[in-house]
């Protein structure tokens, strides 16, 4: 276990030994949760033996397999943890499915109008996903659906169609996203789409002025059909929904299960639960989906719009850094294209990321004299971020140095 100031390895060892002594004295009382046939089939030790082996291995222990984390004692603890996680989620799903949700009838007005005005045709994958979601909304048990698709596959349009169906039935829609930049972007897109349909779209983030927050809160309390787009600010105590029918969560892995439930419970009025649509661009293997998202049904948009250029990913050693900078310079000057330079860290630390990005931007500015280098990071003021993103969108910036603040949903 990692040590920390005031808690060193000898102290940790002593505490572990005390716990193991208690375990030995109460072996008969330990309840074995994994069925015996699973233990035999997978050749796994009992819970007590597994705990003793990983915390206090004997002199003859297989150290190599312990370091690789594939020893049967570790495998047993991993299986139990995954199984407990999955069963908890399935139990949660069953509980929510027992509750009643509003029946949101298939849209005959807003959705057809919206599709007609789109400047492109929906792909078959989008049509299939939206049809499934529309059918889920039309049931009196809560929709719990994960919508997965690459960046650019058109998940936001699917979210818009589900939103319109809900609004047409006089219910509210809350769209929760992990960052302010993404919230502002979604707000602009939805506002532009829905303004012509006379649908009220509002934005709610932590940095919004108090007077504007109060206006939004008042609308949510009193207005049935309204779309609110926001960050964690959506589940503050002061936010009260009058008639929440649908919750859409973008990049679900950025939120804990408790945060998701907090928003769902806000919408629970008169024992009616809102429907849930969760969207992610993160590719999730099927087996992991079945385990980590066991409480959710699953739709995949596996088709990009015609004309999309395939994404090509390459990896280079750091010694080739100057060559890469030269190749970016040539590409930008020759083809007038734009580039991102994203500064990431293995350990999440916003302050270190910002410092790295600032230093990198300064270095690239010196090396790329004829190229406009911009910088964006999480510690900038919202209006500064807005200005930089606007300049990048309008091609005033050729190369944008950024932290992972842009990783979810820069349009």
Between 297 and 110, name the one with better pLDDT: 110
Q: Listing from the earlier edge strand, what are the strands of the sheet with 373-376?
A: 339-342, 399-402, 373-376
Q: How many Cβ atoms sit within 10 Å of the Cβ of residue 1? A: 10
Q: What is the pLDDT of residue 239?
A: 87
pLDDT in tens, 36-74: 998 999 999 999 999 999 998 989 999 999 999 999 999
Cα–Cα distance, 195 to 189 (Å, whole number) = 10
Residues whose CB is less than 8 angstroms from the CB of residue 376 and which lie 6 or more positions away in sequence, other chains included = 357, 385, 388, 389, 400, 401, 402, 403, 405, 406
Cα–Cα distance, 292 to 305 (Å, whole number) = 29
Cα–Cα distance, 4 to 30 (Å, whole number) = 31
pLDDT in tens, 374-405: 998 878 887 788 788 878 888 999 999 988 76
pLDDT over 50 at 409, yes or no: no
Q: Pick from 159, 81, 79, 149: which is nearest to 114 by CA?
A: 159
Tokens found for residue 117: 């005005």
Q: What is the pLDDT of residue 269?
A: 62
- Give mean pLDDT, residues 234-253: 84
Q: Which residues pair with 36 in a beta bridge?
A: none
Residues whose CB is less than 8 angstroms from the CB of residue 217 and which lie 6 or more positions away in sequence, other chains included = 204, 238, 239, 240
pLDDT over 50 at 353, yes or no: yes
CA distances in angstroms from 243 to 43, 250, 257, 335, 396, listed in the order given = 53, 21, 22, 51, 43
pLDDT over 80 at 14, yes or no: yes
Say if CB 236 and CB 220 are below 8 A apart. no
Confidence of residue 183 (pLDDT cuts 50, 70, 90): confident
Between 88 and 110, name the one with better pLDDT: 110
Q: What is the pLDDT of residue 371?
A: 93
pLDDT over 70 at 346, yes or no: no
- Give mean pLDDT, residues 92-110: 89
Between 11 and 355, name the one with better pLDDT: 11
pLDDT in tens, 191-240: 999 998 999 999 998 888 888 988 899 998 887 789 999 988 887 778 88
pLDDT over 90 at 277, yes or no: yes
Say if CB 187 and CB 201 are below 8 A apart. yes
Confidence of residue 349 (pLDDT cuts 50, 70, 90): low
pLDDT over 70 at 348, yes or no: no
Instruction: Write down the pTM of the prediction.
Output: 0.73
Cα–Cα distance, 32 to 27 (Å, whole number) = 10
Cα atoms in the Cβ-side hemisphere of radius 13 Å centred on 350:
7
């Amino acid at each position: 276990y990692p040590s920390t100031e005031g808690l060193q390895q000898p102290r940790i060892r002593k505490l572990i030994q005390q716990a193991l002594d208690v375990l030995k004295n109460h072996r008969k009382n330990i309840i074995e949760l994994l069925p015996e046939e699973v233990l035999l089939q997978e050749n796994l030790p009992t819970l007590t033996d597994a705990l003793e082996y990983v915390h206090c291995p004997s002199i003859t222990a297989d150290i190599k397999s312990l370091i690789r984390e594939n020893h049967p004692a570790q495998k047993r603890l991993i299986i139990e943890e995954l199984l407990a996680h999955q069963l908890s989620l399935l139990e949660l799903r069953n509980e929510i499915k027992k509750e009643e949700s509003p029946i949101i009838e298939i849209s005959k007005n807003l959705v057809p109008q919206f599709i007609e005005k789109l400047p492109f045709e929906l792909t078959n994958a989008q049509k299939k996903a939206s049809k499934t979601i529309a059918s889920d909304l039309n049931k009196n048990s809560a929709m719990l659906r994960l919508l997965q698709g690459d960046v650019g596959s058109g998940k936001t349009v699917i979210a818009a169609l589900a939103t319109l169906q809900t609004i047409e039935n006089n219910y509210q829609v809350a769209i929760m996203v992990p960052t302010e930049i993404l919230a502002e972007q979604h707000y602009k897109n939805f506002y532009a789409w829905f303004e012509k349909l006379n649908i009220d779209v509002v934005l709610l983030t932590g940095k919004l002025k108090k007077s504007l927050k109060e206006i939004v809160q008042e609308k949510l309390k009193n207005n049935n059909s309204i779309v609110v787009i926001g960050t964690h600010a959506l589940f503050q105590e002061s936010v009260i929904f009058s008639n929440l029918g649908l919750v859409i969560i973008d990049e679900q892995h950025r939120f804990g299960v408790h945060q998701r439930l907090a928003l769902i419970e806000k919408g629970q009025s008169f024992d009616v639960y809102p429907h849930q649509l969760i969207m992610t661009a993160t590719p999730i293997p099927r087996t992991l989906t079945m385990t980590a998202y066991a409480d959710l049904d699953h739709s995949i948009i596996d088709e990009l719009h015609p004309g999309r250029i395939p994404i090509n990913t390459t990896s280079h050693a750091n010694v080739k850094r100057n060559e890469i900078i030269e190749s970016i310079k040539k590409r930008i000057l020759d083809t007038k294209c734009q580039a991102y330079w994203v500064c990431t860290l293995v350990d999440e630390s916003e302050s270190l990321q910002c410092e790295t990005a600032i230093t990198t931007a300064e270095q690239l500015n010196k090396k790329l004299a004829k190229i406009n280098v911009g910088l964006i990071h999480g510690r900038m003021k919202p209006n500064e971020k807005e200005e930089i993103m606007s300049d990048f969108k309008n091609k005033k910036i050729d190369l944008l140095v950024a932290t992972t603040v842009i990783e979810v949903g820069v349009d």
